Amino acid sequence: MQGVEFIYFPQPNVDYSKCEKWVTACGRPTTGKHAFVVKNVNRNTYICTKHFVGGKGPTAEYPDPIPAVVSNAELEAFKRRKRRKSSSSGDSTFDSSVPTTDNRYGYIVAKAALYSEADLDKSIHNMVGHALTKAVEETGHPYLEDSNTPHRSVSYETIVEAYRYFTQLPEVTSASIRAEENENIISVQSMWSQRDIDRKEKTSFGRTYVLDAAKNVVVSCSSPQEINNQVWNVASPSGKYRAILRKQKDKKGDDKQYLEIWNAVQKVKTINVEGLEKHGKIISDDGHFGSFQWSRAEGHVLYVAEKKRPKASSFFDSKPFSESTESKEKETARGDEFLYYQNWGEQITEQSSTVLCVMDVETGTVSVLESVPENVSPGQAVWAPDDAGVVFIGWIHEPYRLGLKHCVQRRSFVYHLDIQKNKIEKISEDGRAVRFPRFSPDDRWLVYLDTLDSGPHNMCSRLMMCEWERRHDGLKPILDIVNSAKEEEFPGLFTWSVPVHTWLSDSIHLVLNTFWGSRSEVVVVNTQTKSVVRVRPDLASWSSTVLDIHGNHVVIGCSSPNQAPYLIFGTLVPSDLGSSQWLRLDNKSEVITSFEWQIIQHSPSSDRVHPKYGNLDYESILYLPKGSSVNGSKPPLILFPHGGPHSVCDGSFAFQPAVYCHCGFAVLLVNFRGSLGFGQDSILSILGRIGDQDVKDCKSAADEVIEKGLADGTKVVVCGGSHGGFLATHLIGQYPDYFKAACARNPVTNLTSMVGTTDIISWVFTEVGETFSYDTQVDATILSKMWDASPVRCIKQVKTPVLLQVGLKDLRVPPSQSLEYWKMLKANGVPVRCLTYPDSNHPLSEVEVEADGLINSILWFCQHLTSQ
Ligand SMILES: CSCC[C@H](NC=O)C(=O)N[C@@H](Cc1ccccc1)C(=O)O
């Protein structure tokens, strides 16, 4: 392995003079806050091999380190001096018994290190960079190697190899900032997720960066450490304690949860929360119900759990009913063994009714807050000022629950529960759906997001605010719905999440994430002037997402289609955002050299202009294999529309298109009208027009790319999941000669049969332009609209071979949608192959399933691109 290695530093108690010599030689400051002197050296001190002439560590000729940052001229001078002096130091030469360091990752890293951040970053950079370069060098673009006979040049081994290279790129999942006692010293704890195809799972690992905010430098960075069983890990406001919720299998193999309290040096206690039998499972950070928060006084932890269910027993269970068992007996429900508990749909099947719980850290006792109305499932709870109560979101679950995943419009309220007075009040307006309540650092202001409580499953949000003490005087929108926006203007707030800490220290500015065209942007909102300003921490990355805020410090995840995620730390100056300071925590992650990408703007042709909303432009992201037009051979094209339809391809690093493009395909991700980030009119424009407007937007985007000569119009395939699969199956029905192959993951194929089976019935009504209410019945007129919008309508035209990928546990688009389509294709003599994944639900995102689906799709495309 090329690159940097780390070796142990000589220990003062073993060889004081060598230690002292090395300390001086490596040229670190010996005074000031970050002084490096002999007394700082301990068993965890390492030195990077780049500190030695030759860059490979101590040699007989150059046994001692030199400062890391030396110019070539300085290095030559050092060598000359050394030659003149000859080797007269008397020091022992390199001791081969130096203990080896951790090399689990194929390169050697140190735990607490004496090295420059750049050194470590270079080693990672090299590792990933070499891997990818090697992949292209050794395998070429599998498809492009011989574009006339691609089926011969591509083997699954080649694709597997390419797949493996991409699994080396971790994705950041969260980060939190903590200030040490010395306020300039900041630590950033980051969590990452990485595919491990051999273990068939995603592994999580943590890395901690220690920064000197005043000097804007990274002081040290821990090696990655795998952390797989933490459900929550949250620091107390002072940073003195941590509450960790851990899941662990018991001897029977059942998942158990334990709540642990840690101080700076040790675990203080473990509470077997399930053993207390107060509630069901504590809910994780699921983006819907879950929250886990210390009280300001640090005496309590607030969390959300599934409600305890009464024990059900059979009618024939003949336990004697005695005095001593009376109270227990009352808790059991005879004949309820098979009672149906409705859940919250796709991927939220463990939640039915939730409860708010408070754990007393001192005593380890748990109280379930009882005053939440019966028809409400609470979640996203935060402590109210003075810890006197809690503020939470309550979703109304009567008359029945509609799936919550990817659906922001579910009827809900912001509630305040005064714990002492046991009094509950509604804060938000009626007729709305609300999310993410957040108090300002001075506890004066409360903000949250709201949308209509009906209509499309995602849309433009309002940012609402009230002054807490005067909350009864009303709420004001800080950001309102934006119907349409000109180029570069703010298109409205479109977001799936708001960081737990979202305010800057002045309690005036908020930092939020939003989709802005085909991009994820971080914006600073001034709640007084209502201005919205984008902050772009790094011009080298296209998309950014704020992960945590502390004071005026922010940590932001950055990436681009061809750049793996990395972190940037920033110190914002709210009055002059342009002078904010940025610091890259990881060295620039590898730019994937096998492809390039660009944004393409589209204006619908005059026949496609919306009758009500007029001209609405849209965009797409085109990935192009590098060198694909060499010798005039154009790459085949994968048209890849997103699902939703109210979602967006935001230009952050995306695994699937990256693998496709690395394998030699041009990939076109289309943000057709109806996507997030282009104003509310764009969202509304598609309602009643799915299967038509969106289909034409995608087809014409592909036409434009082909007309520009960027891809081969005779080699076009299409793929997509869910609504993207709906578009793929529509496209092959409406343009039977255009596509050589199609791949659809859990596609919506027939709305008339899906309306009774999906967890989000409302979607079917809304998207065909009908109003949904819980008691609406489908009649012949509505059914015919649904039929007209369905891909099965054009089944007779389909000629394109179809690969179906089906999660048998999908609640969103039930497998019957794919299987119904499969039967029709079979009956009509169209080549079809169907992969069913027994334990998968809608996204097919389990590592093994994702890999199987991805590789099969590439092989399917290659097979049918050549068999004409
Ligand atoms: C009744 S199925 C509707 C299709 C589904 N829409 C919402 O869930 C869909 O297309 N799902 C997308 C997931 C998604 C949806 C919204 C935003 C981001 C992702 C898919 O599986 O790709």
Distance 853 CA to ligand 1 centre (A): 18
> Beta strand pairing status for 716-721 and 741-745?
parallel
CA distance 622 to 637: 10
Averaged pLDDT for residues 102-107: 21
Distance 454 CA to ligand 1 centre (A): 17
Predicted pLDDT at 868: 58
Predicted pLDDT at 459: 98
Tell me which residue has its CA closest to atom 15 in ligand 1.
644
842 is catalytic: yes
For residue 395, give the DSSP letter.
E
Q: pLDDT tens for residues 526-577?
A: 999 999 999 999 888 999 999 999 999 999 999 999 999 999 999 999 999 9
Shortest-distance atom of ligand 1 to CA 763 = 1
469 shares its domain with 604: no
ipTM above 0.90, yes or no: yes
CA distance 797 to 828: 9
How many CB atoms neighbour CB 340 within 10 A? 6
Tell me which residue has its CA closest to atom 4 in ligand 1.
723
Q: Which of 751, 742, 747 is nearest to 643 (CA)?
A: 747
Region of residue 722 (left: phi > 0; alpha: psi -120 to 50; beta: else) = left
CA distance 606 to 629: 32
Do residues 114 and 47 touch, judged by C-beta distance below 8 A? yes
Shortest-distance atom of ligand 1 to CA 723 = 10
If pLDDT is split at 50, 70 and 90, which confidence band does 10 have?
A: confident
How many CB atoms neighbour CB 160 within 10 A? 12
Distance 601 CA to ligand 1 centre (A): 24
User: What CATH code is carried by the domain that includes residue 293?
Assistant: 2.120.10.30
Domain boundary (458, 481, 504) is at: 481
Averaged pLDDT for residues 250-256: 91
Both tokens of residue 549?
């805020």
Predicted pLDDT at 112: 19
- Asked whether residue 815 is domain-assigned, the answer is yes
- Asked whether residue 285 is domain-assigned, the answer is yes
DSSP class per residue in 639-663: E---SSSS----SS--HHHHHHHHT
Q: pLDDT tens for residues 616-634?
A: 999 999 999 998 766 678 9
Predicted pLDDT at 377: 98
Averaged pLDDT for residues 701-726: 98
Distance 694 CA to ligand 1 centre (A): 15
Entry field: residues in the chain: 868
Q: Is the confidence at residue 232, as pLDDT, over 80?
A: yes
Q: In testing the pocket of ligand 1, which one of 495, 722, 746 has its CB within 8 Å of the most ligand atoms?
A: 722
Q: pLDDT tens for residues 822-850?
A: 999 999 999 999 999 999 999 999 999 99
Distance 863 CA to ligand 1 centre (A): 29
Domain boundary (15, 49, 78) is at: 78
Both tokens of residue 83?
């030659």
- Asked whether residue 150 is domain-assigned, the answer is no
For residue 718, what are the β-bridge partners? 639, 742
475 shares its domain with 603: no
CA distance 94 to 107: 20
The catalytic position among 125, 285, 810, 840 is 810
Q: Is the confidence at residue 199, as pLDDT, over 80?
A: yes
CA atoms within 13 A on the CB side of 242: 17
SS (H, E, C) 565-624: EEEEEEECCHHHHHHCEEEECCCCCCECCCEEEEEEEECCCHHHCECCCECCCEEEEEEE
Do residues 651 and 519 touch, judged by C-beta distance below 8 A? yes
Q: Which of 521, 573, 523 is nearest to 552 (CA)?
A: 573
Q: Which long-range contacts (CB under 8 A, 24 or more apart) does 848-852 make?
A: 848/197, 848/200, 849/807, 850/195, 850/655, 851/163, 851/195, 851/197
Backbone angles phi, psi at 24, to 5 degrees: -65, -45
CA distance 245 to 302: 12
Amino acid letter, residue 790:
S
The catalytic position among 675, 722, 790, 818 is 722
Predicted pLDDT at 478: 98
322 is catalytic: no
Averaged pLDDT for residues 211-239: 94
User: What CATH code is carried by the domain that includes residue 751?
Assistant: 3.40.50.1820
Q: Is the confidence at residue 128, as pLDDT, over 70?
A: no
Predicted pLDDT at 398: 98
Tell me which residue has its CA closest to atom 16 in ligand 1.
644
For the chain, how many helices (H) and strands (E)?
A: 15, 40
If pLDDT is split at 50, 70 and 90, which confidence band does 56 have?
A: confident
Q: Is the confidence at residue 55, as pLDDT, over 80?
A: no
> Beta strand pairing status for 354-360 and 366-368?
antiparallel
How many CB atoms neighbour CB 86 within 10 A? 8
Q: Is the confidence at residue 520, as pLDDT, over 70?
A: yes
Q: In testing the pocket of ligand 1, which one of 459, 655, 683, 723 has its CB within 8 Å of the most ligand atoms?
A: 723
For residue 601, what are the β-bridge partners? 619
Backbone angles phi, psi at 257, to 5 degrees: -115, 140
If pLDDT is split at 50, 70 and 90, which confidence band does 156 have?
A: confident
603 shares its domain with 476: no
For residue 618, what are the β-bridge partners? 602
How many CB atoms neighbour CB 275 within 10 A? 10
Shortest-distance atom of ligand 1 to CA 843 = 21
Give the list of residues 6+ apart from residue 1 with CB closer than 8 angstroms, or none. 106, 107, 127
Distance 722 CA to ligand 1 centre (A): 6
If pLDDT is split at 50, 70 and 90, which confidence band does 23 have?
A: confident
Dihedral in degrees, nearest 10, Cα atoms 561, 565, 568, 574: 50
123 is catalytic: no
Q: In testing the pocket of ligand 1, which one of 406, 409, 646, 767 has its CB within 8 Å of the most ligand atoms?
A: 406
Lowest mean pLDDT among 17-26, 375-384, 463-472: 17-26
- Asked whether residue 585 is domain-assigned, the answer is no
Q: Range of 724's domain?
A: 595-867
> Beta strand pairing status for 242-249 and 230-235?
antiparallel
- Asked whether residue 62 is domain-assigned, the answer is yes
For residue 310, give the DSSP letter.
P
Helix axes 847-866, 156-167, angle to 10 degrees: 140
Predicted pLDDT at 866: 84
Shortest-distance atom of ligand 1 to CA 346 = 8
CA distance 379 to 337: 27
Predicted pLDDT at 327: 52
468 shares its domain with 601: no
Q: Is the confidence at residue 780, as pLDDT, over 70?
A: yes
Predicted pLDDT at 76: 52
Tell me which residue has its CA closest to atom 5 in ligand 1.
644
Both tokens of residue 241?
């304690």
- Rounded to two decimals, the pTM is 0.83
Distance 726 CA to ligand 1 centre (A): 10
Cα 187 to its chain centre, rounded Å, is 22
Q: In testing the pocket of ligand 1, which one of 648, 767, 805, 812 has its CB within 8 Å of the most ligand atoms?
A: 812
Domain boundary (60, 78, 96) is at: 78
- Asked whether residue 849 is domain-assigned, the answer is yes
- Asked whether residue 211 is domain-assigned, the answer is no
Tell me which residue has its CA closest to atom 18 in ligand 1.
647
Shortest-distance atom of ligand 1 to CA 758 = 1
Q: Which of 810, 834, 839, 809 is nearest to 820 (CA)?
A: 834
Distance 239 CA to ligand 1 centre (A): 39
Q: Is the confidence at residue 16, as pLDDT, over 80?
A: no
Within 207-304, where are the H helices?
none
Shortest-distance atom of ligand 1 to CA 676 = 17
Predicted pLDDT at 588: 60
Region of residue 769 (left: phi > 0; alpha: psi -120 to 50; beta: else) = left
Cα 269 to its chain centre, rounded Å, is 32
For residue 181, give the DSSP letter.
S
User: Which residues approach ligand 1 with their CB closer than 6 A?
Assistant: 406, 457, 643-644, 647, 721-724, 748, 758, 760, 763, 812-813, 842-843
Three-state DSSP class for residue 687: coil
Q: Which residue has the tokens 């409205």?
A: 492
Helix (H) or strand (E) holding 199: none
The catalytic position among 300, 509, 842, 864 is 842
Predicted pLDDT at 147: 42
CA distance 863 to 859: 6
Backbone angles phi, psi at 333, to 5 degrees: -115, 110
800 shares its domain with 663: yes
- Asked whether residue 195 is domain-assigned, the answer is no
Cα 556 to its chain centre, rounded Å, is 13
> Beta strand pairing status for 267-271 and 412-418?
unpaired
If pLDDT is split at 50, 70 and 90, which confidence band does 209 have?
A: very high
724 shares its domain with 862: yes
469 shares its domain with 603: no
Averaged pLDDT for residues 446-469: 98
Averaged pLDDT for residues 224-235: 95
Do residues 339 and 352 touch, judged by C-beta distance below 8 A? no
Backbone angles phi, psi at 733, to 5 degrees: -80, -40
CA distance 846 to 455: 31
CA distance 141 to 627: 10
Q: Is 429 exposed, middle or buried (0-12, 13-18, 19+ CB in 10 A)?
A: middle
Domains in the chain: how many in total?
3
Distance 457 CA to ligand 1 centre (A): 9
CA distance 289 to 333: 27
Instruction: Name which residue leads in pLDDT, 407 or 158.
Output: 407
If pLDDT is split at 50, 70 and 90, which confidence band does 309 have?
A: very high
Averaged pLDDT for residues 286-312: 96
CA distance 457 to 429: 19
Do residues 389 and 418 touch, judged by C-beta distance below 8 A? yes
If pLDDT is split at 50, 70 and 90, which confidence band does 519 have?
A: very high
Q: pLDDT tens for residues 646-675?
A: 999 999 999 999 999 999 999 999 999 999
Q: In testing the pocket of ligand 1, which one of 647, 670, 719 has its CB within 8 Å of the most ligand atoms?
A: 647
Q: Is the confidence at residue 79, as pLDDT, over 70?
A: no
Q: Which of 185, 136, 226, 150 is nearest to 34 (CA)?
A: 185
Predicted pLDDT at 52: 77
Both tokens of residue 289?
């119900």
Instruction: Name which residue leads in pLDDT, 703 or 100.
Output: 703
Q: Quote the mean pLDDT of the chain.
A: 87
Distance 644 CA to ligand 1 centre (A): 4
